[in-house]
Amino acid sequence: MNPFLAARGGDLVARLEPAEAGILGLLLDQLEQLLTADPDDVGDDPVVERLFPDGHRSDPEMAADYRDLTEASLRSGKADDLAMVRASLPAEGGDVRLDTDQAGAWLRTSNDLRLALGTRLDISEETEPPEDVADEEDQQLAVYYWLTALQGSLVDALVASRSGRT
């Protein structure tokens, strides 16, 4: 991946390799499945709990009421962001060019992807990037750290764009 950079005119541009675009597409598919699943069907899935945390942890009744009021709009917003990311993702790799709205959607969606993957992998502050990619868990960790770098380069490019540095 060539990191996101601020381009003239305010757009942000990065280049994804075909494998990176493919991985991102698969992750988007998995996130979409979580977002469109019936909340009753996902039960106590820790990823869903991480994406839609309780509003009131000390009061289960208030938490349920809060969830009833907010979950549909949160799911809808996440689904809209995901659709915007998918629309701007070159399926076979290549240049990604984002305006400010698209960049916001990419930030929020990449954060959701990192939350989901980090929860599944039980990532903590002590988790280190793999030195060698020897097994499936190492591959997933490598993807997590790649998403972190992608998100970080997007934040840096947004800051540069807003400060007039291109």
Determine the pLDDT at residue 165.
Answer: 65
What is the domain partition of the chain in residue ranges?
A: 2-162
Q: Is the pLDDT of residue 134 over 90?
A: no
Q: Mean pLDDT throughout 83-107?
A: 97
CB 2 within 8 A of CB 84: no
Q: Is the pTM of this model over 0.85?
A: yes
Tens digit of each residue's pLDDT (9 = 90 or more) over 23-67? 999 999 999 999 998 877 776 889 988 998 888 888 888 888 888
Residue 8 CA to residue 43 CA, distance in Å, equals 47
